[in-house]
Amino acid sequence: MTKVLFVCMGNICRSPTAEAVFRRLAAQRGLLPELEIDSAGTHGYHVGESPDARTQRAAAERKYDLSHIVARKVAPEDLEYFDIVLAMDRSNLDSLRKLCPVSLLPRLKLFMSYARQFDDDEVPDPYYGLAHDFDLVLDMIEDAAEGLLDSIMRERPSAKAGAKAPRKLARAH
C-alpha cells in the first residue's frame, strides 16, 4: 500500500482538492484499495472546518465531492507514516522540512513536480483570489494527480522492468 499526503497551508482549498481528485482518479483506475490518501495543513487556522465553500463549488462543478473532508494540521507522525508527502508550494515544503527527520526528507516533494501540462512548480493559493482561480487550481491539480498516479503505477512491483507474472503450467489430466 502506498500512503500519500497532500499538504497546503490551511487544508481548506488546495490539499483537500488534491485529495478528492487523486482519490477519484485512483478509483477510476481500480487502484484505490492499494492507496491511502489524506490531506493536511501546515497551519492550524481551520482545524475541524470543511473545505472553503468556493473550493467545494468549483470541485462540485467537476463532480468531485469534498464534503467528507475536515481540515487538520499536519503532525510530525504524518511524515513517518506517509510514503509520499506533497506540498502545494515552497513555503509549505519548507514548513514540512522543519518538522521532518533528515532520513525522511526524500518523501517530501512539490506536488507540481508530477505535472505534465503545467511548468509551474507551485499550485497557487486561491483563497484570496477570484472564482476562476479555483478553476485554475483544479486544472493544475488534475494534471499533477494524473502524473502522480502514473508514477505510482510505474513503481508497483508488477510494473517494474523485467517483472513478469508467473506462468501457469498446464496440467496433464
Question: What amino acid positions are annotated as catalytic residues?
Answer: 8, 14, 125
Could you give the CA distance from residue 120 to residue 169 in angstroms, rounded to a whole number?
Answer: 51
Could you give the CA distance from residue 160 to residue 164 in angstroms, rounded to a whole number?
Answer: 9
What per-residue string of b and e applies to 17-29 under the rule 16 or more CB within 10 Å gives b? bbbbbbbbbbeee
Look at residues 8, 33, 13 and name the one whose alpha carbon lies nearest to residue 156.
Answer: 33
Could you give the CA distance from residue 19 to residue 44 in angstroms, rounded to a whole number?
Answer: 18
Could you give the CA distance from residue 56 to residue 74 in angstroms, rounded to a whole number?
Answer: 21
